[in-house]
Amino acid sequence: MKNQILFSIIFGLLTVPLFAQTMTLNHSLIFKKKQRAQVDFPHDVHLSADTLSCKSCHHLYNDKEENILDEGTLEEGKVNCAACHVHATPSKLEKAFHGQCIPCHINYRKAKKKSGPESCGKCHPKKRIIN
């Protein structure tokens, strides 16, 4: 019993930085000329949603269009889109970000569930532009 409690405490301490945080999505190496501010992404809020899993956002598709990602391979600091999509153009990466986030937020709103922002200024507040 003591070992289980100790394991739970250690596991909890090790996973808090990855799961209980707000991450800043700032891909300044790709988006050289910013028109909008970076996005503060509440990772913990998304993980606590009852219908989401890591694979809801992170993906690795095979030739059958199945998401075969092993969630155990996700590492803190290396899970952003640009880490895998290194050759994406700014317009393709922007389209991927918006295509991943906005439809999900719309679906949650339509299902009368708590949802995230759907407009530019709600995700990209003008006062946070950093070059």
How confident is the model over 72-125, as pLDDT tens digits? 888 766 677 777 777 788 888 888 888 989 999 999 999 999 899 999 889 888
Does residue 34 sit in helix, strand or coil? coil
Structure tokens at 9: 């405490």
DSSP letters for 55-97: GGT---B-TTS-B---GGG--TTS-SHHHH-TT--HHHHHHHH
Give residue 87's pLDDT.
78
Q: What is the CATH number of domain 21-128?
A: 3.90.10.10
Say what the pTM is: 0.69
Average model confidence (pLDDT) across the chain: 77
Q: How far apart are the first and last CA of the chain?
A: 52
